[in-house]
A and B are shown apart, each in its own frame.
Chain A
Amino acid sequence: MPGIVLLLPVVAIVVVTIHDVVRRPTLRRLALRNVTRRRGEALLVVVGSLIATAIITASFLVGDTLGASITQMGPADEYVPAPSLARLPDIAAALSSPVPGTDGTLPVVRSGATAASVHGSPRLAEPHAAMLEVDFAAARRFGGDAGATGFAGAGSTPSGVDAVVAKDLARTLHLKRGDSVDVYAFGTRLRLRVRGVVPRLGVAGLAVQDQTNSPNVFVAPGTIARLAARPTARLASVPEAFVLVSNDGGVFSGATHSAAIRQRLEARVRPVAAVSVTTTKQDLLDGAKEASKSFTQVFAGIGAFSVIAGILLLVNIFVMLADERKSELGMLRAVGMRRNQLVRAFGIEGAIYAVLAGVAGTVSGIGIGRLIVVVAQRLFNQEERFRIQLRFAVTPHALVLGLLIGLVISLITVWATSIRVGRLNVIRAIRDVPEPHVVRRRLRTMVLSGAGMAFGLLLFASGVAGKAWFGALAGPPIALFSCIPLLSAVVPRRAVASLACVGALAWAVVAFTVLPKVFDNVDIPAFVVQGVILVSAAVALLATNADLSVHLTSRLSGAGTALAARLGLAYPVARRFRTSMLLGMYALVIFTMTFLAVFAKLFGEQGPRFSREQSAGYDVLVDSNPYDPATPQVLRAQPGVASVAPLLRAFPNFTTTYRTKPMSWPLTAFDKSFLAYGQPKLRNYAARFGSERATWQAVESTPDLAIVSDFFLRRGGGPPQNQIHPGDIFSVYEPTTGRTARLTVAGVTTSDWVFNGVMVGTPWAQSFFGKDIALARTYVRVRPGAAGEEVAARLTGGLLSHGVDARTISSIVHTRLQQNEGFFTLMEGYLVLGLLIGIAGLGVVMVRAVRERRRQIGVLRAIGFPARLVRRAFLFEAVVIAVQGVVLGMVLALIVSYQLLANSKTFNDQQLGFKVPWATLAVVLVAAMVASLVAILGPATQASRIKPAVALRIAD
Chain B
Amino acid sequence: MPVTGSDILDARGVVKTYRTGALEVEALRGVDLRIPRGQYLSVMGPSGNGKTTLLNCLSGLDDIDEGTVLVEGEDIHAMADSRRTEYRAQHMGFIFQTFNLIPVFTAVENVELPLLLTGVKAGEARERSHGMLDRVGLGHRTEHRPAELSGGEQQRVAVARALVAKPAIVWADEPTGNLDSQTAKPVLELLGELHAAGQTLVVVTHDAGIGAMAERMVRVQDGRIVADGRPGEI
Contacts and interface: CB of A to CB of B under 8 A. Distances in A.
Given A554-B109, A856-B102, A862 B61 contact: yes
B48 to A, nearest CB: 12
Classify the secondary structure of A's interface with B: helix
A702 to B, nearest CB: 78
Contacts of B145: 434
A574 B121 CA distance: 25
Nearest to B125: A557
B104 A571 contact: yes
Interface residues of A, number: 35
Nearest to A866: B85
Contact of A856 (B62, B85, B103): B103
Nearest to B119: A559
A865 B82 CA distance: 9
Interface in A859-906: 859-868
Contact of B104 (A433, A563, A573, A855): A573
Given A433-B147, A863-B88, A863-B93, 5 more contacts: A558-B116, A567-B102, A867-B85, A949-B62, A952-B56
Nearest to A567: B102
Nearest to B53: A949
Interface in B89-112: 89-90, 92-94, 96, 99-105, 109
A570 B117 contact: no
Contacts of B56: 949, 952
Given A570-B104, A866-B82, A859 B148 contact: no
B61 A859 contact: no
12 contacts: A431-B147, A432-B103, A434-B147, A556-B122, A563-B117, A570-B104, A856-B103, A859-B101, A863-B88, A864-B88, A866-B82, A948-B62
Contacts of A433: 147-148
Classify the secondary structure of B's interface with A: helix
A570 B106 CA distance: 10
Contact of A863 (B103, B104, B109, B161): B161
B5 interface: no
Nearest to B145: A434
A444 interface: no
A206 B152 CA distance: 82
B200 to A, nearest CB: 17
Given A574-B104, A856-B102, A859-B99, A864 B86 contact: yes
Contact of A947 (B62, B92, B96, B118): B62
Contacts of B21: none
A451 B69 CA distance: 70
Question: What class of interface size applies to chain B in its complex with A?
Answer: 35 or more
A352 to B, nearest CB: 29
Interface in A559-608: 559, 562-563, 567, 570-571, 573-574
Contact of B102 (A554, A555, A558, A860): A860
B114 interface: yes
A862 B103 contact: no
A860 B104 CA distance: 13
Interface string B189-214: 00000000000000000000000000
B123 interface: yes
A855 B99 contact: yes
Given A559-B118, A571-B104, A956-B99, A867 B81 contact: yes
Nearest to A950: B62
Which of A434, A557, A864 counts the most chain B CB atoms within 10 A? Answer: A864
Interface string B20-56: 0000000000000000000000000000000010001
Interface in A765-815: none
Contacts, number: 98
A581 B79 CA distance: 43
Interface string A915-956: 000000000000000000000000000000001110011001
A952 B105 contact: no
Contacts of B114: 863-864
B103 A574 contact: yes
Contacts of A948: 61-62
A876 B88 CA distance: 24
Given A859-B99, A949-B56, A558 B104 contact: no
B105 A570 contact: yes
Interface in B114-172: 114, 116-119, 121-123, 125, 145, 147-148, 161-162
B24 to A, nearest CB: 16
Interface of A: 431-434, 554-559, 562-563, 567, 570-571, 573-574, 855-856, 859-868, 947-949, 952-953, 956
Contacts of B87: 864
A952 B100 CA distance: 9
Nearest to B151: A431
B207 to A, nearest CB: 20
A219 B94 CA distance: 89
Interface string B67-82: 0000000000000011
Nearest to B126: A554
Given A856-B99, A948-B61, A868 B117 contact: no
Which of A855, A863, A865, A948 counts the most chain B CB atoms within 10 A? Answer: A863
A850 to B, nearest CB: 15
A862 B56 CA distance: 9
Nearest to A557: B122
Contacts of A861: 61, 85
Given A855-B99, A868-B82, A863 B89 contact: yes
Nearest to B122: A557
B113 interface: yes
Contacts of B118: 559, 864
Contacts of A865: 85, 89, 113, 117
A562 B90 CA distance: 18
B86 A866 contact: yes
A557 B86 contact: no
Contact of A949 (B61, B122, B123): B61
A871 to B, nearest CB: 12
A811 B88 CA distance: 72
Nearest to A951: B61
Contacts of B62: 947-949
Nearest to B85: A866
A557 B147 CA distance: 26
Given A431-B147, A433-B148, A856-B103, A863 B82 contact: no
A559 B121 CA distance: 9
A867 B82 contact: yes
Contacts of A567: 102
A947 B119 CA distance: 23
Which of A574, A862, A952 counts the most chain B CB atoms within 10 A? Answer: A862
Contact of B121 (A434, A557, A868): A557
A859 B100 contact: yes
B97 to A, nearest CB: 9
A559 B117 contact: yes
B108 to A, nearest CB: 10
A371 B98 CA distance: 50
Contacts of B92: 864
A221 to B, nearest CB: 77
A554 B110 CA distance: 12
Nearest to B99: A855
Which of B102, B105, B161 counts the most chain A CB atoms within 10 A? Answer: B102
Contacts of B125: 557
Contacts of B103: 432, 574, 856
Contacts of A555: 122
Contacts of A864: 85-90, 92, 114, 117-118
A407 to B, nearest CB: 33
A795 B162 CA distance: 90
A662 to B, nearest CB: 69
Nearest to B84: A864
- Closest 8 A/B residue pairs (Cβ): A864-B89, A557-B122, A949-B62, A574-B104, A570-B104, A433-B147, A864-B88, A949-B56
A376 to B, nearest CB: 44
A861 B113 CA distance: 11
B101 to A, nearest CB: 8
